[in-house]
Amino acid sequence: MVLHPADPLTTLAHGIGSQHDLPISPFYAFAGAFAALFVSFLALGLLWSTSRFRGDRSGLALPAALQRAADAPAIRTALRVLGLAAALAVLLHLLLGPDDPSRNPAPGAVYVLLWVGLVPASLLLGPVWRRLNPLRTLYLLLARALHRSTPGRPLPARLGQWPAAAGLFAFTWLELVAPDPASTTTLLIALTLYATAQLLLAARYGERWFDDGDAFEAYSALLARLSPLGRRSDGRLVLRNPFHGLDATPERPGLVATVCILLGSTAYDGFSDNPSWIDTLQTSPLGRTPTATLGLLASIALVATLYCLCAAATRLVSGPHSGPLTAFAHSLVPIALGYLVAHYFSLLVVEGPRTVIMAAGTDNAPEPLQPLGPGGLATLQVVAVVTGHVLGVVAAHDRSVRLFPPAKAVAGQLPLLALMITYTIGGLSLLLN
């Protein structure tokens, strides 16, 4: 793993920077990954014949005093104030700070503390962005000031998570494709346009818009499905097996698109440092930005196409089902999480503290230091990718034995296993080559 501290823009624009000559054998990495997937598949087929995950009906209820504290109006208000204050601080740095990401914490706050920091925060605490979201808070303040109490028009059911998927694509385009993503002008324009669109749509549809319309709320909520903290269907705060939360992922329009955008954009982030792709960008007659946009779209489309082909093959092998396209989409969430950890762990632990130090007013923030050596970092990346795929196999198997007859449940997972192997080959190839 090679970071470029002297060029913060490159680091921020491409996640964890360039990857070259990771000191781990590709043979052992691929052999270990395939062995883990095949052993998991065979063990599940032999030992796991009935569905064990109960979605939002499961969980050990936490003490009532803890739930009262978590739901206390004072706590909710404090979190909203914290989120709004952080947003105002970023805005002030964008307006008044230098146009230099090495001296302005605003780009790091957006690309590191928000985008990457939401991953561990959501895994540990649940859908935290719903409490912190400054746009939701601003909407509530405006609605109160204008004495608006109506809930707004009902959201069309066909929308589902498509608005959030579109927002996620726009953000990943800004991070990975835009010519100058860490520029204060670029960020200010992008955030202003996004905030304006969100507030206008919330004015039409009410506060419920943010649940599926805000990209970061949907992103946080999706990752929070794997949190050990959750809510049962009766509203109780519980400690649960993360697989139960994952099983409760709503099968809504746009879910597949949301997960595929996370997977495809992360894959493009890894591929964008490939010398051949850099040469293509530099020599393309279309120009760098249009070519990079096509590359990002192609990466997402490839991930989505493979999943759709897998869903079609599952239908052929196991028989018809009312919604095979979304039925197994939840099994992609652990894979997306594995890729996020592999690609962005270094960025968070290196640039995150540096961003906080800059925001605290220290002019001479220390140069980033790697917390792990090259071997340790490479091992972490491979383990994250492989573990994500194994967890995906487990989630898919449990859903399969619930939906299909026993004689077809295991056979129906062969397309899913092939999909997991394909994703694993792609993910490890990006990391190791």
What is the model's pLDDT at position 1? 34
**Could you give phi then psi for residue 284, rounded to 5 degrees?**
-65, 130
Report CA Rg, the chain. Answer: 22
State the sign of the Cα–Cα–Cα–Cα dihedral 351, 352, 357, 360. positive
What distances in angstroms separate CA 20 from CA 223, 306, 413, 432, one per listed residue? 29, 28, 35, 8
Q: How far apart are CA 284 and CA 415, in angstroms?
A: 37
- Cβ-Cβ contacts under 8 Å for 150 (sequence gap 6 or more): 206
Contact 299, 207 (CB under 8 A): no
Amino acid at 180: D
What is the model's pLDDT at position 27? 67
Contact 12, 181 (CB under 8 A): yes
| pLDDT tens per residue, range 312-334 | 888 787 766 666 678 888 989 99
Low-confidence ranges of the chain (pLDDT < 50): 1-21
What is the model's pLDDT at position 153? 78
The pTM of the full predicted model, rounded to 2 decimals, is 0.87
Q: How far apart are CA 373 and CA 147, in angstroms?
A: 57
What is the model's pLDDT at position 300? 94
Three-state SS at 64: helix
Q: How far apart are CA 422 and CA 406, in angstroms?
A: 26
- Rounded to 5°, the CA angle 414-302-215 comes to 105
Can you read off the two tokens belonging to residue 393? 């196999």
What is the model's pLDDT at position 150? 62
**Could you give phi then psi for residue 389, rounded to 5 degrees?**
-70, -40
What is the model's pLDDT at position 421? 84
What is the model's pLDDT at position 11? 41
Q: How far apart are CA 30 and CA 21, in angstroms?
A: 16
What is the model's pLDDT at position 328? 86
Can you read off the two tokens belonging to residue 217? 């709320």
Contact 310, 371 (CB under 8 A): no
In 3D, which of 61, 53, 56 has the Cα closest to residue 238?
A: 61
Contact 243, 323 (CB under 8 A): no
Q: How many CB atoms lie within 10 A of CB 173?
A: 18
- Cβ-Cβ contacts under 8 Å for 99 (sequence gap 6 or more): 183, 184, 185
